[in-house]
Amino acid sequence: MVSTLGVAVVGFGWMGRVHTQAYSRIRHHYPQLARLPELVTVAEEVPGRAEEAAAQFGFGSTTRDWREVAADPRVHAVSITAPNFLHREIGVAMAQAGKHIWIEKPVGLTAEDAGAVADAVAKAGVQGTVGFNYRNAPAVSYARELIASGEIGTATHVRIRLFSDYAAHPEGALTWRYERGRGGSGVLGDLASHGVDLARFLLGDIASLAADTAVFIPERARPTGATAGHTRATGGELGPVENEDYVNCLLRFASGARGVLEACRVSVGEQNNYGFEVHGTKGAVFWDFRRMGELGVSRGTAYQDQPVSTVYVGPGHGEYGAFQPGSATSMGYDDLKVIEAHNFLRSIADGTAHGPTLEDAVRSAAALDAMSRSAERGCWVSLA
Going by DSSP bridges, is the β-strand pair 206-214/381-382 parallel, antiparallel, or unpaired? antiparallel
CB 207 within 8 A of CB 383: yes
3 state DSSP class of 307: coil
3 state DSSP class of 123: helix
Residues 50, 53, 57, 61, Cα dihedral to 10°: 10
CB 184 within 8 A of CB 126: no
CA–CA distance from 290 to each of 14, 109, 273, 294, 331 (Å)? 20, 29, 7, 9, 11
C-alpha 302: how far from chain center:
37
pLDDT in tens, the chain (384 residues): 568 999 999 999 999 999 999 999 999 999 999 889 999 999 999 999 999 999 999 999 999 999 999 999 999 999 999 999 999 999 999 999 999 999 999 999 999 999 999 999 999 999 999 999 999 999 999 999 999 999 999 999 999 999 999 999 999 999 888 999 998 999 999 999 999 999 999 999 999 999 999 999 999 998 875 555 567 776 678 999 999 999 999 999 999 999 999 999 999 999 999 999 999 999 999 999 999 999 999 999 999 999 999 999 999 999 999 999 999 999 999 999 999 999 999 999 999 999 999 999 999 999 999 999 999 999 999 998
CB 296 within 8 A of CB 139: no
CB 206 within 8 A of CB 383: yes
Cis peptide before 106 (omega within 30 of 0): yes
Element of type H or E holding 43? strand 35-43
Q: What is the DSSP letter of 190?
A: I
Instruction: List alpha helices for 71-110, DSSP H.
Output: 87-96
Q: CA 113 to CA 35: how far, in whole Å? A: 30
Global confidence as pTM: 0.95
Element of type H or E holding 159? strand 155-163
